[in-house]
């Protein structure tokens, strides 16, 4: 059992707020995190039918069992409790009373924000980061990391990835989807998931997916919304403020766990991932996800973007920090090419808010700098990213 990086932020948030809410994908370790951090707090899981029924029939009586507060897991099953919790924390006027977890958004997120506005800190926990995974493995092969993903149970129990993700698909993803929408044809939804994984790192074309699967574009949009709500995928928004160019204004899609994306693509080994035509997208997903985890584990908004104009000029990732944008190119190649710098140089020339530094994150062994642009392997040296991306000017 390892200590999660977000633990420090969780403790500090609880010292300042009466309620802390931890969102995140199923199986990302939310329950283990909050129970290990607050072992003396009474714990209640709302996925348990008896617990949920008791709370629903007598919410005041249920909450009276937690005189000094407690942990309520999977609060999305009974959001009505939030209004009662509001009354309790307002009357008690003390911090670190309730710790809530939830696996669905944005409806739950909106409910928490409305009922507990000013009373709760909001954190998001994703599966293991590279820093956390170091406690389970050494070497840091990018393609093995892509196949394994970061779900804690897979690493703690040393489970076979293919079997784990098959169970994850059937037990959690499909169940959550059925709970959120009236899914009539499960096979089409499974086909949609596989096609979506095949478009990883791309701007989604709803019409194309609609034609490929045989459902309406509206249905595709609804399905994508559900996957975002269940933390299966996330969007990387485009950056276009203060740019007097014709730019792309639609987001890219990535998965919150590369292992699940690889599973959907039929990739079972690191060698397969290395040779797959989609290795660039998977590698890009791995790197962007790692940077997002770092920001979330610090309790910060990710503030990550990409840039692309209609002439094909592009930067894979823009990190906003201290009011400035830090441009990053991500390449799965093990050999550096000066062409990797093209997008960074162009973006710096057209954007006043862009820092003069940048980074190329590739899969090679060497580390060096060219014109204030750092070139290195994030998988093998993620500590270097912290000093570059988050140091301000």
> In whole angstroms, what is the distance from residue 51 CA to residue 44 CA?
7
Percentage of the chain modeled with pLDDT above 90: 72
Contacts of 196 (CB under 8 A, 6+ apart): 204, 209, 224, 227, 233, 253, 264
DSSP state at residue 238: B
Measured over the CA atoms of residue 47, residue 50, residue 53 and residue 55, the dihedral's sign is negative
Burial class (CB in 10 A: 0-12, 13-18, 19+), 160: exposed
Instruction: Report whether CATH 3.40.50.300 matches the domain 7-124.
Output: yes
Q: How many CB atoms lie within 10 A of CB 331?
A: 21
* Closest C-alpha to 27, from 191, 146, 172: 172
Q: What is the mean pLDDT of residues 31-42?
A: 96
Task: For the domain made up of 130-285, give the CATH fold.
Answer: Arc Repressor Mutant, subunit A (1.10.10)
The pLDDT value given to residue 363: 96
Instruction: Show Cβ contacts of residue 124 under 8 Å, excluding neighbours closer than 6 positions.
Output: 22, 23, 24, 296
CA–CA separation, 175 vs 169, rounded Å?
Answer: 9
Could you tell me which residues come within 8 angstroms of residue 59 by beta carbon, excluding any fewer than 6 positions away?
80, 81, 84
- Angle, vertex CA 30, rays to CA 25 and CA 33, nearest 5: 155
SS3 content of the chain, % helix, strand, coil (to 5): 45, 15, 40
In sequence order, what are the beta bridge partners of 369? 374
pLDDT tens sequence across 74-119: 998 899 999 999 999 999 989 999 999 998 765 676 777 778 888 9
C-alpha–C-alpha distance, residues 154 and 263, integer Å: 14
Establish whether domains 7-124 and 130-285 are of one fold.
no
Which helix (DSSP H) or strand (DSSP E) does residue 254 occupy? Answer: strand 252-255
Rounded to whole angstroms, how far apart are CA atoms 289 and 300? 14
**pLDDT category, 339, cuts 50, 70, 90?**
very high
Integer Cα distance of 154 and 157 in angstroms: 6
Check pLDDT > 70 for residue 162: yes
Residue range 226-239: mean pLDDT, rounded: 92
- What is the H or E stretch that residue 346 is in? helix 342-350
On whether the CB atoms of residues 70 and 98 are closer than 8 A, the answer is yes
The residue ranges of every structural domain in the chain are 7-124, 130-285, 304-389
pLDDT at 393: 43
pLDDT band (50, 70, 90) for residue 138: low
The reported pLDDT for the residue numbered 240 is 77
243 confidence band (pLDDT: 50, 70, 90): low
**Cα separation of 323 and 320, whole Å?**
6
Distance of alpha carbon 3 from alpha carbon 24, whole angstroms: 17
CA gap 67, 92 in Å, rounded? 10
Highest mean pLDDT among 89-93, 236-240, 339-343: 339-343
């Amino acid at each position: 059992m390892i200590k999660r990086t977000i633990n420090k932020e969780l403790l500090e948030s609880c010292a300042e707020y009466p309620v802390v809410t931890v969102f995140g994908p199923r199986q990302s370790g939310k329950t283990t995190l909050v129970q290990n951090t607050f072992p003396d707090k009474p714990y209640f899981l709302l996925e348990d039918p008896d617990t949920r029924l008791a709370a629903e029939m007598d919410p005041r009586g249920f909450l009276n069992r937690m005189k000094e507060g407690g942990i309520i897991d999977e609060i999305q099953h009974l959001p009505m409790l939030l209004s009662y919790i509001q009354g309790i924390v307002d009357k008690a006027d003390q911090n670190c009373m309730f710790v809530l977890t939830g696996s669905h958004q944005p409806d739950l997120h909106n409910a928490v924000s409305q009922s507990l506005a000013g009373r709760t800190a909001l954190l998001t926990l994703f599966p293991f980061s590279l820093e956390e995974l170091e406690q389970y493995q050494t070497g840091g092969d990018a393609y093995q990391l892509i196949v394994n993903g970061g779900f804690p149970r897979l690493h703690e129990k040393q489970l076979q990835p293919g079997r784990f993700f098959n169970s994850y698909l059937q037990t959690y993803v499909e169940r959550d989807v059925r709970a959120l929408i009236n899914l009539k044809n499960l096979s089409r939804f499974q086909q949609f998931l596989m096609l979506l994984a095949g478009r990883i790192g791309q701007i989604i074309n709803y019409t194309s997916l609609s034609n490929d699967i045989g459902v309406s574009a509206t249905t595709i949009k609804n399905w994508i919304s559900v996957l975002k709500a269940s933390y299966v995928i996330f969007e990387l928004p485009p950056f276009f403020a203060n740019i007097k160019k014709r730019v792309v204004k639609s987001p890219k899609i990535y998965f919150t766990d590369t292992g699940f994306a690889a599973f959907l693509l039929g990739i079972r080994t690191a060698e397969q991932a290395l040779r797959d035509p989609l290795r660039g997208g998977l590698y890009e997903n791995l790197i962007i996800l790692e940077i997002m985890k770092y920001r979330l584990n610090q309790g910060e908004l990710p503030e990550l973007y990409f840039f692309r104009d209609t002439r094909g000029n592009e930067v894979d990732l823009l990190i906003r920090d201290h009011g400035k944008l830090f441009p990053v190119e991500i390449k799965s190649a093990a050999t550096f090419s000066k062409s990797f710098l093209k997008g960074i140089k162009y973006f710096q020339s057209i954007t006043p808010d862009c820092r003069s530094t940048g980074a190329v994150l590739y899969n090679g062994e060497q580390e060096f700098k060219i014109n204030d642009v750092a070139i290195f392997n994030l998988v093998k040296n993620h500590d270097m990213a912290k000093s570059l991306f988050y140091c301000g000017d």
